[in-house]
Chain A
Amino acid sequence: MTERVLVVCEKPTAASRVAQALDDDGAPESFSERGVPYHVARRGKLDLIVVSALGHLFFVAQKGGKWTYPIFDYEWVPSHVADKKMARTRRFVEVIGKLSLGVGGYVSACDYDMEGSLIGYMILRHVCGEESVAKARRMRFSTLTDRDLNHAWDEMSDSLDFPLIEAGRIRHEVDWLFGINLTRALTLAVKNATGFYKVLSVGRVQGPTLNFIKEREVEIQTFVPTPFWLIKAEVRLGRKKFALEHEASRIHSDSKAEKIVAECEGKEGDLKELETARTELPPLPPFSLGDLQREAYYKLRYSPRTTLRAAERLYLGALISYPRTSSQRLPPSIDLRRILEGLREQKGYADFASRLLGKSSLRPWQGKKDDPAHPAIHPTGKKPGRLEKVDARVYDLICRRFMASLERSAVRESTRATVDVNGHVFHLKGSRLVEEGWTEVYGPYFRDNGVVLPALKIGRKIPIRKVEAPRRLTRPPPRLNPGSLLALMEREGIGTKATRSDIIDTMFKRGYVDGREIGVTDLGLTVVESLDRIVPEILSVGMTRKLEEDIEGIRTGETNADAVVEEAIRVLGPALSGFKLNEESIGTAINEALLRASRKGVTLGACPVCETGEIQIITSKQTGKRFAGCTNYFQGSCDASYPLPQKGKIQATGRKCSVCGAPRITVLRRRRRPWDLCINIGCPSKKKENPADGQM
């Protein structure tokens, strides 16, 4: 008689792949019950019932009581009970429960990380019963290829990975405690003080992250530059012009700069020294998730979240290894030759893969970071079918980085010529790649900014064509962008590789930050100020980093799980009492910021007609259409109005039209370039603007 085994996967696509890989004939039977797909695979004498979750089917939720704070009593409940938006998950819970009846064995085949282990455990415990947890075994894999899944089946552990599950459980509980209490404290502060309801969230990681952005914004907004002068000389060598740099990179007085210019103008330079050096540029290691998200942001302009979603789709398609990894290393257990043989069959990689396969040994350039659960992100060698544009570009980046890590170093030759011009020392700098090495395969994502100098000889006389001393100003620190913010969070050890991009996204959704170069909004600033006044610990990197270390300690067995929750409650208790005491002042301040943000959202600029009112976006009650009108209309003193584009998001630019003086706006539309225009339809500048888009 055949034994039935329930195999639990994290997502339907993964379940389909697992069933196909484990079935002896590679053709499992697929069924659907109430819209919940499952598969029956035959493996030897076993019937494997492969089911899937939809991510987490169980959440932490408040145990009874009202929508208030502090809340320290909680329980794990099905996600459809905790969140009405998750109603679909109810059918998954019920169908898995039905399929688990009469089953002899259980296997968790969820992604091998903290979240995946917790998802599998919660389903087994709460749906299949406590006894299933003791019987369950764990498959561990880094790719969804048939080979890896069969290997994971053969080598699966006899029990679930309980330390990892416990660490995941505590992370969820602690994050819930912080999130629910602080969110309610902020939201109720505004509601109780002003009667206005708006959800204002803040969490254990979101607080310090928002604080980073705020601190940077304060530096930028209070910045006052100081002047300095550069001495720039121009020479011609052969047919090309080259720039000479003065030995002092900055001159701090205009009179001194002018003196140098006067002494060098029209003079001849004397080439005194020539230095050449060769430096090796080692290959870049294969990607960790953070590295991939940063590189995709800088090279492809994809947000960290877009990159993560694309990487997840590529993983579910068995095209790349598991992307939620911190590792920059490829262990010897990975069959690099087999992957390269697969890449050799793919358009664009054949030459590079063939060259690498011709090497007697393949040694990847390894990074410093490691992850005990998964190797660095790498292709599986499986040939992709037709991919979406985003997925195709992320796949290309991963494949090229993987092959680049197996290549030899590049070599750069740098030259520095020292030129004496009437007693002033200038340098002429150049560099070029003399050996391309890994940069050839990584070509589209590697930019060589080197200046190639012609052959030079000591003693050569070089006429100075032009000397000038442009004034420059010191610059404020740059705003953080999604890539640099991700790097900062990683460096500071806050959040996890899987959650950082979502935390950044949430801050945008809440209206705390805005812009591609991220700036804090008035609302974000007020939220940080309120937290800083009452619960500065929430903004502290130290506290959240300590919690991350404690959670890691639970995973390694060094920290007691319950003590971590108790510590979270110990921090939160007095902080929330402080919030209650100051509810009115916090609520009023945040409400003022919300009102300012709301006014800012509809105000486009000063009225060019009456010059005292403001042009605001107004929605007609009769037609539901939007237009722009002067705020003085209601006083009867100005009737200036302008039609507006009805589609897209309208943003004020803060600029006036140079032709008619009306405000200029930017219209943001999906998948189209931002449209910058003057709102005055009769403005003479309209003739030059995009008439095709000009439907108002």
Chain B
Amino acid sequence: MARCSLCHREGSEGGYCGYHRDAHANLVAAYEAWRKSTELSWNAFLEEVIQTKEVGGWARDVAHDLLSNDQWGNKSSNNFP
């Protein structure tokens, strides 16, 4: 059975386990609210998320992963899924 690329938990689909998939979905949903209120780009949002203490550990893991996998690593890029 495939394992999560972040926590090695079994039962992964598309690279993430159930918890990290939920965290990813929450990131996408929250970005809508952030974009409307601050006009941040997706990558700048992820940078912000990593530094915010209210963000859950699994959500932060996903944000790190998305940023490190962004080939441009550019704050203003908007590789919003």
Distance of B37 from chain A, by nearest CB (Å): 5
CA distance A358 to B37 in the complex (A): 63
CA distance A30 to B13 in the complex (A): 72
Distance of B13 from chain A, by nearest CB (Å): 15
B30 near A226 with CB under 8 A, answer: yes
Q: Is the interface of B mostly helix, strand, loop or mixed?
A: helix
Tell me if B23 is interfacial: C-beta within 8 Å of chain A.
yes
A-B pairs with CB below 8 Å: how many?
59
CA distance A253 to B54 in the complex (A): 19
Q: B55: which of A223, A252, A254, A589 is its contact (CB, 8 Å)? A: A223
**Scoring B residues 35 to 73 as 1 if CB is less than 8 Å from chain A, else 0, what string do you get?**
011100000000001001011111100000000000000
A226 near B33 with CB under 8 A, answer: yes
A221 near B38 with CB under 8 A, answer: no
Q: B56: which of A223, A228, A589 is its contact (CB, 8 Å)? A: A223
B10 near A224 with CB under 8 A, answer: no
Segment 459-489 of A: residues with Cβ below 8 Å from B: 473-476
Q: B37: which of A218, A223, A252, A476 is its contact (CB, 8 Å)? A: A252
Contacts of A253 in B (CB 8 A): 36-37
Contacts of A220 in B (CB 8 A): 56
Tell me if A225 is interfacial: C-beta within 8 Å of chain B.
yes
Q: B36: which of A219, A223, A252 is its contact (CB, 8 Å)? A: A252
B26 near A222 with CB under 8 A, answer: yes
Contacts of B49 in A (CB 8 A): 224
CA distance A253 to B30 in the complex (A): 14
Tell me if A227 is interfacial: C-beta within 8 Å of chain B.
yes
Segment 215-268 of A: residues with Cβ below 8 Å from B: 218-228, 252-254
A473 near B54 with CB under 8 A, answer: yes
Contacts of B56 in A (CB 8 A): 219-224, 476
A223 near B52 with CB under 8 A, answer: no
Of chain B, the residue at the smallest CB distance from A475 is: B54
Distance of B71 from chain A, by nearest CB (Å): 24
Contacts of B19 in A (CB 8 A): 218, 221-222
A222 near B30 with CB under 8 A, answer: no
Distance of A83 from chain B, by nearest CB (Å): 37
B26 near A224 with CB under 8 A, answer: yes
Provided the pairs A224-B49, A226-B30, A226-B33 are in contact, do residues A476 and B54 lie with their beta carbons within 8 angstroms? yes
Distance of A589 from chain B, by nearest CB (Å): 7
Contacts of A228 in B (CB 8 A): 37
For A, the interface residue count at a CB cutoff of 8 angstroms equals 20
Q: A222: which of B22, B33, B37, B52 is its contact (CB, 8 Å)? A: B22
CA distance A525 to B49 in the complex (A): 25
Provided the pairs A218-B22, A473-B54, A475-B54 are in contact, do residues A224 and B37 lie with their beta carbons within 8 angstroms? no
CA distance A228 to B22 in the complex (A): 23
Provided the pairs A473-B54, A475-B54 are in contact, do residues A223 and B59 lie with their beta carbons within 8 angstroms? yes
Tell me if B4 is interfacial: C-beta within 8 Å of chain A.
no
Distance of B72 from chain A, by nearest CB (Å): 23
Contacts of B26 in A (CB 8 A): 222-224
B55 near A224 with CB under 8 A, answer: yes
A221 near B52 with CB under 8 A, answer: no
Contacts of B27 in A (CB 8 A): 224
Contacts of B52 in A (CB 8 A): 225, 473
Distance of B39 from chain A, by nearest CB (Å): 9
B54 near A222 with CB under 8 A, answer: no
Distance of A469 from chain B, by nearest CB (Å): 12
Distance of B53 from chain A, by nearest CB (Å): 9
Distance of A514 from chain B, by nearest CB (Å): 15
Contacts of B10 in A (CB 8 A): 585, 589
Contacts of A254 in B (CB 8 A): 37-38
CA distance A218 to B36 in the complex (A): 27
CA distance A219 to B59 in the complex (A): 10
Contacts of B22 in A (CB 8 A): 218, 222
CA distance A223 to B62 in the complex (A): 12
A226 near B34 with CB under 8 A, answer: yes
Segment 541-600 of A: residues with Cβ below 8 Å from B: 585, 589
Q: Chain B CB within 10 Å — which of A226, A474, A585 has the most?
A: A226
CA distance A368 to B64 in the complex (A): 51
**Scoring B residues 12 to 37 as 1 if CB is less than 8 Å from chain A, else 0, what string do you get?**
00000001001100110110011011
Of chain A, the residue at the smallest CB distance from B48 is: A227
Segment 128-156 of A: residues with Cβ below 8 Å from B: none
Of chain A, the residue at the smallest CB distance from B23 is: A222
Contacts of A218 in B (CB 8 A): 19, 22
CA distance A227 to B35 in the complex (A): 10
Contacts of A221 in B (CB 8 A): 19, 23, 56-59
Q: A225: which of B30, B36, B57 is its contact (CB, 8 Å)? A: B30
CA distance A219 to B56 in the complex (A): 8
Distance of B58 from chain A, by nearest CB (Å): 4
B34 near A227 with CB under 8 A, answer: yes
Contacts of A476 in B (CB 8 A): 54, 56
Of chain B, the residue at the smallest CB distance from A256 is: B37
A222 near B38 with CB under 8 A, answer: no
B37 near A225 with CB under 8 A, answer: no
Q: Chain B CB within 10 Å — which of A222, A226, A254, A585 has the most?
A: A222
Segment 502-551 of A: residues with Cβ below 8 Å from B: none
A225 near B38 with CB under 8 A, answer: no
Q: B30: which of A219, A224, A475, A585 is its contact (CB, 8 Å)? A: A224
CA distance A91 to B36 in the complex (A): 75
Distance of B76 from chain A, by nearest CB (Å): 18
Of chain B, the residue at the smallest CB distance from A252 is: B37
Contacts of B23 in A (CB 8 A): 221-222, 224
B59 near A224 with CB under 8 A, answer: yes
B36 near A222 with CB under 8 A, answer: no
Distance of A522 from chain B, by nearest CB (Å): 9
CA distance A506 to B19 in the complex (A): 26
3 nearest A-B residue pairs (beta carbon)? A224-B30, A226-B33, A221-B56
Could you write out 21 A-B pairs with CB less than 8 Å apart?
A218-B19, A221-B19, A221-B59, A222-B19, A222-B23, A222-B26, A222-B58, A223-B55, A223-B56, A224-B26, A224-B27, A224-B49, A226-B30, A226-B33, A226-B37, A227-B34, A227-B38, A252-B33, A252-B37, A473-B52, A473-B54
Q: Which residues of B contact A (CB under 8 A)?
A: 10, 19, 22-23, 26-27, 29-30, 33-34, 36-38, 49, 52, 54-59
Q: Which residues of A contact B (CB under 8 A)?
A: 218-228, 252-254, 473-476, 585, 589
Q: Told that A218-B19, A221-B59, A227-B37 touch, could you supply 4 new A-B pairs with CB distance under 8 A?
A: A220-B56, A224-B26, A226-B33, A473-B54
